[in-house]
């Protein structure tokens, strides 16, 4: 994979910001879109736009075919046993809420346990808090090692026969830690619990095979994997999806409607009430085609190589605290750090003046920030279109920030 050639596929990258070539290091927040995806969206709206699963006219059939083909593509991408196990949602947040509301809220009771890690994104934390409040189930947190990793021994100690759900991010959006989901799923299953995986930061960056990992549910977002905003996926094992209640009731998701009761379509359509995310799903199908062509293993190796290079280069800078797995340990394609006591927003403002886009803040992980003893951090995240030169620009920008804030760093 040649990231300099890959860059040519992303028109947005070819611009200057504040008088400097754009260096986009915020793909963990949202990725940029290749021309192939933009073109598919344009073609869909120019030639095929119509509602799906309804009319019998030609455009309606074309749109329906394209929408359902996108489902097949996504199913193949994650090695789902069947396309019906792929539900199009608005994104990871909605997918996780659907599991919490449609499954956990109805199945759990007082005395049951939900096991989480303290480094979860708020979207894999607050829905479970809500489930616990309504059902009387309790939340239990796995202890995190200093570098943000989990030990299987701690998982074995924490998961008990009372555990009904283990819900974890595959890759932490703050620390870049990659959790051993396959091994954790095996522990969860041995205790009779379901494994729910937040794949927002893994599915875009590495091959994810739901059958190999043997997860019960997987949630991810299209916009972080070269697809459009507004579309995401909920994958589930058939038996759980069949047991799960829809979240949205109305048009499209019904079988028979009577005045006082109704029945639902089969999976996946019972979960897609109303006009579905047609263009979004078709765009996500195009993104999956694009990523498959580049090769997910190539992308994973590339992102990890850049993160390793970034760790090396950042270690040259004094006054920088880098969080997460230490150099030499496996991490996803991102680095998170602070410059002395300087607020992350200030560091990010100086970087922006040099055309460098990074994320600054609590990254929707306030409990983790508290554990790290900070209120915010700076995060640089890499994707297939980033190069070593982008990391060099980041280091240059950080040297400028150091100079600018010398008094505060002291």
Q: Minimal distance in Å, beta carbon 311 to ligand PMP?
A: 20
200/393 with CB nearer ligand PMP: 200
Contacts of 63 (CB under 8 A, 6+ apart): 44, 48, 49, 50, 51, 52, 278
Is 226 one of the catalytic residues?
Answer: no
164/224 with CB nearer ligand PMP: 224
Is-contact 87 271, C-beta < 8 A?
yes
Nearest to 28 by CA among 180, 219, 223: 223
Q: Minimal distance in Å, beta carbon 235 to ligand PMP?
A: 15
42 φ, ψ (degrees, to nearest 5): -65, -45
Q: Minimal distance in Å, beta carbon 145 to ligand PMP?
A: 18
Distance CA 81, CA 75 (A): 7
Contacts of 34 (CB under 8 A, 6+ apart): 9, 10, 226, 287, 290
Q: Minimal distance in Å, beta carbon 94 to ligand PMP?
A: 7
64/123 with CB nearer ligand PMP: 123
The one-character DSSP state at 221 is: E
For 79: left if phi > 0, alpha if psi spans -120 to 50, otherwise beta; the answer is left
Q: Minimal distance in Å, beta carbon 167 to ligand PMP?
A: 11
Query: How does DSSP assign 327-380, residue by residue?
Result: TTS---SEEEEEETT--HHHHHHHHHHTTEE-EEE-TT-HHHHHHHT-S-EEEE
Q: Minimal distance in Å, beta carbon 98 to ligand PMP?
A: 12
222 forms bridges with which residues in the sheet? none
197 forms bridges with which residues in the sheet? 168, 218
Instruction: Specify the pairing of strand 359-361 against strand 377-381.
Output: antiparallel
3-state class (DSSP) for residue 294: helix
Cis peptide before 332 (omega within 30 of 0): no
Site residues (vs ligand PMP, CB under 6 A):
28, 91-93, 121, 123-124, 169, 173, 198, 200-201, 221, 364
64/92 with CB nearer ligand PMP: 92
Contacts of 367 (CB under 8 A, 6+ apart): 118, 119, 120, 125
Distance CA 113, CA 116 (A): 10
Distance CA 120, CA 171 (A): 10
107/381 with CB nearer ligand PMP: 381
Q: Minimal distance in Å, beta carbon 204 to ligand PMP?
A: 10
94/112 with CB nearer ligand PMP: 94
87/364 with CB nearer ligand PMP: 364
34/127 with CB nearer ligand PMP: 127
Catalytic annotation, pick one of 75, 347, 364, 380:
364
Q: Minimal distance in Å, beta carbon 151 to ligand PMP?
A: 21
Q: Rounded to whole angstroms, what are the CA distances from 129 to 114, 371, 374, 395?
A: 9, 19, 23, 40
Residues designated as active site: 364
């Amino acid at each position: 994979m040649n990231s300099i050639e890959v860059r040519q596929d992303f028109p947005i990258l070819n611009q200057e910001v504040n008088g400097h070539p754009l260096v986009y290091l915020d793909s963990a927040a949202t990725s940029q879109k290749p021309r192939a995806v933009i073109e598919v969206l344009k073609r869909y709206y120019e030639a095929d736009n119509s509602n799906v699963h309804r009319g019998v006219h030609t455009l309606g059939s074309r749109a329906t075919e394209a929408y359902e083909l996108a489902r097949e593509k996504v199913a193949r991408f994650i090695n789902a046993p069947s396309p019906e196990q792929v539900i199009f949602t608005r994104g990871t947040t909605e997918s996780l809420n659907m599991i919490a509301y449609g499954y956990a809220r109805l199945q759990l009771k007082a005395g049951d346990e939900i096991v989480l890690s303290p480094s979860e994104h708020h979207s894999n934390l607050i829905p479970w808090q809500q489930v616990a409040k309504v059902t009387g189930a309790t939340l239990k947190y796995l202890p995190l090692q200093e570098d943000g990793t989990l030990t299987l021994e701690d998982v074995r100690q924490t998961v008990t026969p009372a555990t009904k759900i283990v819900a974890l991010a595959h890759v932490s959006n703050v620390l870049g830690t990659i959790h051993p989901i396959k091994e954790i799923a095996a522990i969860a299953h041995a205790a009779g619990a379901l494994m729910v995986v937040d794949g927002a930061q893994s599915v875009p960056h590495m091959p994810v095979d739901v059958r190999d990992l043997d997860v019960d549910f997987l949630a991810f977002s299209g916009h972080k994997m070269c697809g459009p905003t507004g579309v995401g996926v909920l994958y589930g094992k058939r038996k759980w999806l069949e047991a799960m209640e829809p979240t949205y009731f109305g048009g499209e998701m019904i079988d028979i409607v009577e005045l006082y009761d109704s029945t639902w379509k089969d999976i996946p359509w019972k979960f897609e009430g109303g006009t579905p995310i047609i263009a979004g799903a078709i765009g996500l199908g195009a993104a999956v085609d694009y990523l498959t062509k580049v090769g997910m293993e190539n992308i994973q190796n590339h992102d990890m190589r850049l993160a390793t290079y970034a760790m090396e280069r950042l270690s040259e800078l004094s006054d920088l605290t880098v969080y997460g797995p230490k150099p030499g340990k496996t991490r996803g394609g991102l680095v998170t750090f602070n410059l002395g006591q300087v607020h992350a927003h200030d560091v990010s403002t100086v970087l922006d003046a040099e055309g460098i886009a990074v994320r600054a803040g609590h990254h929707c992980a306030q409990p983790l920030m508290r554990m790290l003893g900070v209120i915010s951090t700076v995060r640089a995240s890499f994707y297939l279109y980033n190069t070593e030169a982008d990391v060099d620009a980041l280091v240059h920008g950080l040297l400028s920030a150091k100079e600018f804030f010398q008094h505060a760093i002291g």
